Amino acid sequence: MGRLDGKVAVITGASSGFGLAMAKLFAKEGAKVVGADINPQMPEIAAEIAGDVVGIVADVSKQEDVDAMYALCVEKFGKLDILCNNAGISGPRARMHEYPLEAWDKIFNVNVRGYLMVMQGGLKLMLENGKGSIVNTASVGSFKATPGSPAYIASKGANAMMTKQAAAEYVKDNIRVNAVCPGIFNTGIIDGMSEELRKFLDSQIPMGRIGEPEEMANFALFLASDEASYITGQCYLIDGGRDAM
């Protein structure tokens, strides 16, 4: 038996990186999965995942796309047990006084407003279901400044507090809300980096290497499952020991 047998999960940002790793693992553990992503290949990617998985093209910054994502979930599977609120963007690098406002607005539109809309829709279905588990993807940047990334860092700080706020508001409704906060992982954000830069990043991590998406997915699985039934309102750093040093 799988750890998520009988569960229905919605995962945003599911075409690559953390989202794809979670979609594969959750399906393997018995969940029925709706994978959503702005990537137009999302339905084809979902079809290649072993298990009961459907994909939908959705931009989490657009209310109509978020609504369509949940409509598909209800149509296909009838309920929602788990939400992995994972979609996000990083944006250009510049110091705060030089940061382009249009880039700031775009990042907040996806990473904060989009997170809210995704949580709102998920919470409504979980309230109907009488229970649920939300796993937000925040960041080590929720707690640690990175010069040159003011919009991303501020948005991820907001994600951490949105997690705690939702946990406090819905704990009496049997809905748990937690966040995973990854450090540097082998996802699209480091595509195109030189081997020299990769080695430098490895050297900054006490474990001596960048994390793999599957390692974060394993912890998201635990938080999503009934094994974490006494955990809510927590934000967990997953960074190879970087924050401890």
Phi, psi of 180 (to 5 degrees): -100, 140
Q: Which two tokens stand for residue 83?
A: 């939400």
Q: What is the pLDDT of residue 177?
A: 98
Q: What is the pLDDT of residue 192?
A: 66
Which residues on adjacent β-strands are paired with residue 135? 84, 178
Residue 48's Cβ-count burial label (10 Å; 0-12, 13-18, 19+) is exposed
Q: What is the 3-state secondary structure of 83-122?
A: EEECCCCCCCCCCHHHCCHHHHHHHHHHHHHHHHHHHHHH
Q: What is the pLDDT of residue 1?
A: 83
Q: Which residue reads 């553990």 in tokens?
A: 29
Q: Parallel, antiparallel, or unpaired for β 82-85 and 132-137?
A: parallel
Mark whether 236 is an active-site residue: no
Q: Which residue reads 């809510």 in tokens?
A: 232
Q: What is the pLDDT of residue 193?
A: 66
The structural domains of the chain, ordered by start, are 8-244 (3.40.50.720)
- DSSP letters spanning the chain: --TTTT-EEEEESTTSHHHHHHHHHHHHTT-EEEEEESSTTHHHHHHTSSSSEEEEE--TTSHHHHHHHHHHHHHHHS---EEEE----------GGG--HHHHHHHHIIIIIIHHHHHHHHHHHHHHHT-EEEEEE--GGGTS--TT-HHHHHHHHHHHHHHHHHHHHHGGGTEEEEEEEE-SBSSGGGTT--HHHHHHHHHTSTTSS-B-HHHHHHHHHHHHSGGGTT--S-EEEESTTGGG-
Q: What is the pLDDT of residue 185?
A: 86
User: Cα separation of 160 and 244, whole Å?
Assistant: 19
Q: What is the pLDDT of residue 186?
A: 84
Q: What is the pLDDT of residue 17?
A: 95
Stretches in the chain below the pLDDT threshold 70? 189, 192-193, 197
Q: What is the pLDDT of residue 146?
A: 86
**Which position among 152, 170, 230, 236 bears the catalytic label?**
152
